Amino acid sequence: MPRYILALDQGTTSSRSILFDHDARIVSVAQQEFRQILPATGQVEHDPEDLWGSQISTAEGALGKVALEEVAAIGITNQRETTIVWDKRTGKPIHNAIVWQSRVSSSICDRLRSEGVEDTIRQKTGLVVDAYFSASKIIHLLETVSGARQAAEDGHLLFGTVDCYLVWRLTGGKRHVTDVSNASRTMMLNIETLEWDDELLAAYKIPRSMLPEIVDCSGQFAETDPAVLGRVIPISGMAGDQQAASFGQTCFDQGMVKNTYGTGAFALMNIGDKPVLSKNNLLTTVGWRIGDQVSYALEGSIFVAGAVVQWLRDGLGIIEASSEVEPLAETVADNGGVYFVPAFVGLGAPYWDPHARGTIIGLSRGTTGGHIARAALESMAFQTRDMIEAMQRDAGVPLQVLQVDGGASVNNALMQFQTDLLGTRVRRPKISETTALGAAFLAGLAVGFWESQEELRGLWRLDREFEPTADPHKMDQMYTRWQEAVTRSRAWERAGE
């Protein structure tokens, strides 16, 4: 009998492969970082071969200690919105992948607004017009890569987010599919019909022939080419990383909220089986679809969370390894009046300001690296409160508990600061890799490895619950200062033109 599910977790800075057993315990894990390509300020790219090579290498590493016959299925989760366009005749990408963080298509978004399609996009997709999403990135590639427009119109080019590209490669080019959660992040999916929207495609001048087939998040929609991993394995689970994390956190009920602290940070609230547009600058997105069951979510998106620690390491050079940030932050009792707005690529929810830029404010002669490290960590919690407050206004009810996961959630000091800042409980599961776990859950449900969502609930295990202990008045004062710092960061790029 199959004993394991393999989860492929293709992230923004690294690829991971994790093997889970029937009790949702990690059996093996392999991880590999890859290059970040930064052509200009606010632009981020990846080489698609780096994405594929690192992912397949980690898959082989995770599978190294088990027999392939023991693997029931593969689930895939991925950095969302990142855009790859390739020639289906050769399989070769026409350009580097344009990463979700990249602002290279901001001018295209300005143009779409000037053409008067912003409200239509908002109503049909649940998204704001922003360079974050895939459609503007496709337009950019079609307009700037020599010969791309003609090749697309001749039916030779394919578009995919990273999930789609991985399936294409895993199946030897036999399947060009994306799941509905990733499709909902492209600015091309109608969230009512859950199909590509022809009116929007016409407005964008994107040929429908480029787009993949849309499939459920859980279902037997593909299988690996035996030449890739050594045997045929069903690919039966697929979801964008934040939706997968929500599923891994078993946020199956309306009103449940999770926040993932990764390269960026993303809070999702399950809003049930009908899409509701936010009145507070959040996104409406598809959580998952399994058969005739659809769950929608409100989402707040932070572009830079854990990535600020990488910048302290690689850009500022005040730490040599990411693990050093917490001890450095603990060398000071507080932030010393320093606030760090890490708007390196603009600000996401609820501001949606592509022209904001990173700001460190409140520096004095007494400021140390410890203060900057502490302010960097605190920025994750402040940005999370920005999102949660918007969510509470939309929902009309206070948040009772926040489920957390992702790399930075293991930082106890940060999680305590987060619960103090929100004034609500924060719950962290034993498995912080809930993104990969969600992909595994979706894949396992499709092949009968797990029988039901109720069974999955029983596999969620608490690691630690944090409760507020700080003075709420002091926390509110700090948050007010944070908002003042954000104001100073906004529209900076435009101001300097």
Measuring CA to CA, how many Å separate 91 from each of 51, 173, 174, 176? 14, 8, 11, 12
Q: Is 57 exposed, middle or buried (0-12, 13-18, 19+ CB in 10 A)?
A: middle
Sequence-separated (6 or more) residues with CB below 8 Å from residue 281: 128, 349, 350, 351, 352, 390
132 annotated among ligand-binding-site residues: yes
User: Known binder of ligand: residue 351?
Assistant: no
Sorted by sequence, the CB contacts under 8 Å of residue 239 that are 6+ apart come out as 77, 163, 179, 181, 182, 217, 247, 288, 438, 439, 442
Q: Beta-strand (E) ranges in 166-208?
A: 177-179, 189-190, 195-196
- Name the one residue in this structure whose structure tokens are 């489920």: 403
The DSSP 8-state label assigned to residue 208 in this structure reads G
- Residue whose structure tokens are 């603009």: 346
- In whole angstroms, what is the distance from residue 303 CA to residue 284 CA? 17
Q: Which of 422, 391, 393 is nearest to 267 (CA)?
A: 391
What is the end-to-end Cα distance of the chain in Å, rounded? 64
89 annotated ligand binder: no
Please say whether the beta carbons of 190 and 126 come within 8 A.
no
- 31 marked ligand binding residue: no
C-alpha dist (Å) from residue 478 to 191, 300, 309? 38, 21, 21
Q: Is 81 annotated as ligand-binding?
A: yes
411 annotated as belonging to a binding site for a ligand: yes
Closest CA to 179 of 192, 168, 164: 164
Q: Is 406 known to sit in a ligand binding site? A: no
User: For residue 394, what are the contacts with CB-CB under 8 A and spacing of at least 6?
Assistant: 276, 278, 279, 280, 282, 298
To the question of whether residue 452 is assigned a binding role by annotation, the answer is: no
Coil, strand or helix: which one is 257?
Answer: strand
How many whole angstroms separate alpha carbon 80 and alpha carbon 285?
A: 12
Q: Rounded CA gap, 374 and 12, in Å?
A: 24
Which of 438, 15, 52, 465 lies closest to 263, judged by CA?
15
Give residues with Cβ within 8 angstroms of 122, minimum separation 6: 128, 129, 277
User: In angstroms, what CA-CA distances link 81 with 137, 196, 301?
Assistant: 9, 15, 12
Is 80 one of the annotated binding-site residues? yes
Q: Is 241 within any annotated ligand binding site? A: yes
Contact 189, 81 (CB under 8 A): no
Per the annotation, where are the binding residues for ADP?
12, 16, 263, 306, 407, 411
Per the annotation, where are the binding residues for glycerol?
80-81, 132, 241-242
Per the annotation, where are the binding residues for sn-glycerol 3-phosphate?
12, 80-81, 132, 241
Per the annotation, where are the binding residues for ATP?
12-14, 263, 306, 310, 407
Per the annotation, where are the binding residues?
12-14, 16, 80-81, 132, 241-242, 263, 306, 310, 407, 411
